[in-house]
Chain A
Amino acid sequence: MNPANKTHANPFYQALRKKAENKRQDFLNDPVPKIHIGMATCGIAAGALDTKAAFEEALAKHHIDARIHTVGCIGHCYAEPYVIIDHPASGFPPVFYHEVTPGKAGMLTKLFLKEGDPRFEHVLGATVQNEMIPWIMDFPRFNLEKRVVMEKCGRIDPEDIDEYIAEDGYSTLADILQQSPEEIIKEIKDSGLRGRGGAGFPTGQKWELAANASGKEKIVICNADEGDPGAYMDRTLLESNPHQVIEGIIICAFAVGAAKAIVYVRAEYPLAIKIMTRAIQQAKDRGLLGHHILGSSLNLDIDIFQGSGAFVCGEETALIRSIEGFRGMAKFRPPYPAERGLWGNPTVINNVKTLSSVVPVLSNGADEFKKIGTQTSPGTAIFSVVGNVVHPGLVEVPMGTTLRTLIFDICGGIPNKKKFKVVQIGGPSGGCLPETLLDTPIDFDSLTQTGAMMGSGGMVVMDEDTCPVDVARYFLEFTQKESCGKCTFCRIGTFHLRSILERITKGEGQEGDIKKLRQLSEDIKKGSLCGLGKTAPNPVLTSLRYFIDDYEAHIKEKRCPALMCRPLIAYHIDLEKCARGCDACVGCCPVEAVFTTKNRKKAIDQILCVKCGECLVACPPEYDAIVKLSPPELAPIIERPPEPEQKSQ
């Protein structure tokens, strides 16, 4: 669709839009200060509810009239709980504050809202360009991002449909209803949009398959079973902008001719379920769901199905089995779900991000969409960058951005002057990449070449204190637990991979283990039906490819170079550095393994020590007496003197 042809001529939509815009105008025209608080799960976990309560209390105490506006998540997790205060009467632009504790909330209410002092020391930036406060868009964390799918996240109240409509929401739906389904599918195909769930299957092709399949009732499923540890962008999209997902679902249903849609959300995301349920109800009330949507002949109902926590259910055939009420076990394909899926009906299964992407693709046109990203992977990618980075959070960047830009420029690099070691991309199905590959552009094909994969977009950055062998063991433990058990290679093969890795991290590795790992990994890949088994050995294969030295140190020298594998390390107190009379390590030890030596210095009882590392944190930096050693035999054994209490009695 050419954006110039957009008319939104639909009378039903125009009425909704007018009402929503009036409501927005009323809000904007209200001269009182406005406090925007991010209230998605991550914000609440960081204490946003307490912050909101503190603002309410302080406003009442100082008799200030202000409006608190709850919004979704903007993706800047390091800044949570964040608050934007728009206080036009003060003469300052809207100010972005980070890590607003209840105490800060009370202080800002008094000093900024009442007395007009924005407290520069707590400001992150201003949300508009001005001469007094740095504009947030001047920071790399903001300006290197390209927000297409997450554009409205953190700006609108997810629980109010009118805010979405006032921001041009549902206009794409109103426009496409005047076109034929074939035109829409062609537009999606032209845009080159690829499924954002991990495998990168072309979305237009999937829709076309389903549209051409014969079957009375067609079904659209929105896959929000985000089981990948370390990824939470689907949750954020559902919690921060549910209506964009709904709009995408309606467009998909129109294109393929479906009258029923199901949103499959993990039960572990209670807030996402609550917000989505409410959003569906609001859309129904406005005639955007149900019968004769916006006066057209389109009918659609959306139900929510709560996934019960099985990683394999992210795979489409397993997901279908679980909706049907069975164990979520993968099935042989073909027939593909697009031809014969849920209850034997043609079923389109798209990820939350894919369905959210559909809206900007159609509203801006395929050509505009193709300008972003690379030739084979157009558009943007959303990553949740977590782990050892300065500014963790959700980042939306154009495809083709290098890993280095993402980790070092946007997310601020590695904290505490540590060195970068591994970046794990794509969760349990992905791989571990070393520093030498940091200039790899992020797109479906380049990442697959390195042995990792795009996956759902989880990205965990690890510093030099991380052991790649242990990371591989961790992921195998996860996939082994989550294997559905249908294919023998996946069920038993992952168990053996895990046992070998466990042995290596315990220092019981044997000559020939590396060869065994390689062989077994290849066999599992070949002998498994679904994506889980086919990709499960990826963490092992990539870490073997890029970090073979670490494996050899574990097997041959019984040593963990990163000092992470607990059976292979020991904590020891350097008696030269330890200060007499300091009890920091004694107090923090959870198992009372630290004792006082004869000359009133401290030592660690190696038998009692559980190697939690608390003493290392507690030891004051000016002494810095705690040392980590590997192999553990390096730690000298110091005998515990007899208990002084027994003497006095």
Chain B
Amino acid sequence: MELTTEEKSILEEIKTNLATISKERSKLIPILQFVQSKIGYLPQTAIHLVAAHLDISPSEVYGVATFYNQFRFNPPGRNPVKVCMGTACHVKGGDIILENFERKLEIKEGETTPDREFSIESVACVGCCALAPVVIMGETVHGHMQPSKVEGLVLRTRIEKEKQEREKKKNEPSE
């Protein structure tokens, strides 16, 4: 996927930040976490950047990054959907919720919609098992999910976005 101009400027910023971090091997994971917190994922350019900084091969960095579940290699949507797949959520039908999101958004788990609005991830236990099944959309935790609530959630997010855009247009003086 092509990098956006915004992403390119963040990468430049990361480059200058990296210079202040020591070149110890044990800094690898904290650096990757830092990059992901800035840009949302680990683009190929960033992997090369980190490898050059620590003076190890890019494949070594890639090997470590792919080992851990936290790191992702494609951009997350503006509204990342995280479906909990912990034991309690599984027993209460977490996989059905995941399938419903996949069907509704027409993408698979781990993918992002072409408009970069939504992405779906399955996560292992978010630690609120008493509310199972749980979905985290953006920052909000939705407990006691039901398949029929999925459509409403997606729709609500889309409508809110449209509303914001309309208001933005209203506030901007027409050129």
Interface SS, B side? helix
- Nearest A residue to B85 via CB reads A229
Q: Does A89 contact B (CB under 8 A)?
A: no
List, in ascending order, chain B residues with CB within 8 A of A392's CB: 129-130
Q: Which of B74-102 contact A (CB under 8 A)?
A: 85-88, 90-91, 93, 96, 99-100
Q: How near does chain A come to B42, taking the closest CB pair, in angstroms? A: 12
Mask for B138-171, Cβ within 8 A of A = 1, else 0?
0001010011101100000000000000000000
Partner of B124, one of A311, A328, A610: A311
Q: Does A51 contact B (CB under 8 A)?
A: no
Tell me whether A46 and B29 are in contact (CB under 8 A). no
Q: How near does chain B come to A619, taking the closest CB pair, in angstroms? A: 13
**Contacts A230-B88, A325-B29, A326-B64 given; does A590 touch B148 at CB 8 Å:** yes
**Which of B5-13, B20-28, B110-118 has 4 or more CB atoms under 8 Å from chain A?**
B20-28
List, in ascending order, chain B residues with CB within 8 A of A45's CB: 126, 128, 131, 134, 141, 143
**Contacts A466-B91, A591-B103 given; does A386 touch B147 at CB 8 Å:** no
Q: How near does chain B come to A320, taking the closest CB pair, in angstroms? A: 11
Tell me whether B87 and A230 are in contact (CB under 8 A). yes
Distance in angstroms between the alpha carbons of A230 and B103 in the assembled complex: 27
Q: Does A106 contact B (CB under 8 A)?
A: no
Q: How near does chain A come to B155, taking the closest CB pair, in angstroms? A: 13
Q: Interface size on A (CB < 8 Å)?
A: 60
Distance in angstroms between the alpha carbons of A555 and B174 in the assembled complex: 69
List, in ascending order, chain B residues with CB within 8 A of A588's CB: 148
Mask for A434-476, Cβ within 8 A of B = 1, else 0?
0000000000000000000000001010100010000100110
Tell me whether B33 and A268 are in contact (CB under 8 A). no
- Nearest A residue to B104 via CB reads A590
Q: Does A269 contact B (CB under 8 A)?
A: yes
List, in ascending order, chain B residues with CB within 8 A of A614's CB: 146-148
Tell me whether B129 and A230 are in contact (CB under 8 A). yes
Interface centre among A268, A308, A309, A610 (most CB of B within 10 A): A308
Tell me whether A424 and B70 are in contact (CB under 8 A). no
Partner of B67, one of A227, A328, A387, A462: A328
Tell me whether B99 and A227 are in contact (CB under 8 A). no
List, in ascending order, chain B residues with CB within 8 A of A322's CB: 29, 68
Q: Does A41 contact B (CB under 8 A)?
A: yes
Q: Does B123 contact A (CB under 8 A)?
A: yes
Tell me whether B124 and A229 are in contact (CB under 8 A). yes
List, in ascending order, chain A residues with CB within 8 A of B63's CB: 327
Q: Does B14 contact A (CB under 8 A)?
A: no
Q: How near does chain B come to A543, taking the closest CB pair, in angstroms? A: 14
Distance in angstroms between the alpha carbons of A471 and B29 in the assembled complex: 33
Count CB-based A-B contacts (< 8 Å).
150
Tell me whether B91 and A387 are in contact (CB under 8 A). yes
Tell me whether B130 and A612 are in contact (CB under 8 A). no
Q: Does B16 contact A (CB under 8 A)?
A: no
Tell me whether B91 and A325 are in contact (CB under 8 A). no
Q: Does B4 contact A (CB under 8 A)?
A: no
Q: How near does chain B come to A275, taking the closest CB pair, in angstroms? A: 14
Q: How near does chain A come to B84, taking the closest CB pair, in angstroms? A: 9
List, in ascending order, chain B residues with CB within 8 A of A78's CB: 130
Distance in angstroms between the alpha carbons of A586 and B70 in the assembled complex: 39
Q: Does A208 contact B (CB under 8 A)?
A: no
Q: How near does chain A come to B91, taking the closest CB pair, in angstroms? A: 6
Distance in angstroms between the alpha carbons of A604 and B93 in the assembled complex: 20
Partner of B33, one of A226, A232, A308: A308
List, in ascending order, chain A residues with CB within 8 A of B126's CB: 41, 45, 268
Tell me whether B128 and A462 are in contact (CB under 8 A). no
Q: How near does chain B come to A23, taking the closest CB pair, in angstroms? A: 31
Q: Does B107 contact A (CB under 8 A)?
A: no
Tell me whether A235 and B127 are in contact (CB under 8 A). yes
Q: Does A324 contact B (CB under 8 A)?
A: yes
Q: How near does chain A come to B18, taking the closest CB pair, in angstroms? A: 15
Partner of A612, one of B33, B96, B134: B96
Q: How near does chain A come to B154, taking the closest CB pair, in angstroms? A: 11
Q: Does B39 contact A (CB under 8 A)?
A: no
Q: Does B73 contact A (CB under 8 A)?
A: no
Tell me whether A42 and B128 are in contact (CB under 8 A). yes
Mask for A224-265, Cβ within 8 A of B = 1, else 0?
001111111001000000000000000000000000000000
Q: Does B71 contact A (CB under 8 A)?
A: yes
List, in ascending order, chain B residues with CB within 8 A of A231's CB: 125
List, in ascending order, chain B residues with CB within 8 A of A323's CB: 26
Tell me whether B129 and A610 are in contact (CB under 8 A). no
List, in ascending order, chain B residues with CB within 8 A of A591's CB: 103
Interface centre among B27, B87, B100, B129 (most CB of A within 10 A): B87
Tell me whether A387 and B70 are in contact (CB under 8 A). no
Q: Does A103 contact B (CB under 8 A)?
A: no
Interface centre among B29, B126, B143 (most CB of A within 10 A): B29
Distance in angstroms between the alpha carbons of A646 and B96 in the assembled complex: 33
List, in ascending order, chain A residues with CB within 8 A of B96's CB: 610-613
List, in ascending order, chain A residues with CB within 8 A of B32's CB: 308
Tell me whether B87 and A306 are in contact (CB under 8 A). no
List, in ascending order, chain B residues with CB within 8 A of A44's CB: 141
Q: Does A300 contact B (CB under 8 A)?
A: no
Mask for A552-596, Cβ within 8 A of B = 1, else 0?
000000000000000000000000000000000000101100000
Mask for A30-42, Cβ within 8 A of B = 1, else 0?
0000000000011
Interface centre among B33, B69, B99 (most CB of A within 10 A): B69
Tell me whether B128 and A77 are in contact (CB under 8 A). yes
Tell me whether A310 and B90 are in contact (CB under 8 A). no
List, in ascending order, chain B residues with CB within 8 A of A135's CB: none
List, in ascending order, chain B residues with CB within 8 A of A41's CB: 126-128
Task: List 23 A-B pairs, Cβ < 8 Å.
Answer: A42-B128, A45-B131, A45-B141, A77-B131, A228-B125, A232-B129, A306-B30, A306-B33, A308-B71, A310-B68, A310-B69, A325-B25, A325-B28, A343-B26, A386-B132, A388-B91, A424-B87, A427-B87, A460-B88, A471-B90, A590-B151, A591-B103, A613-B96
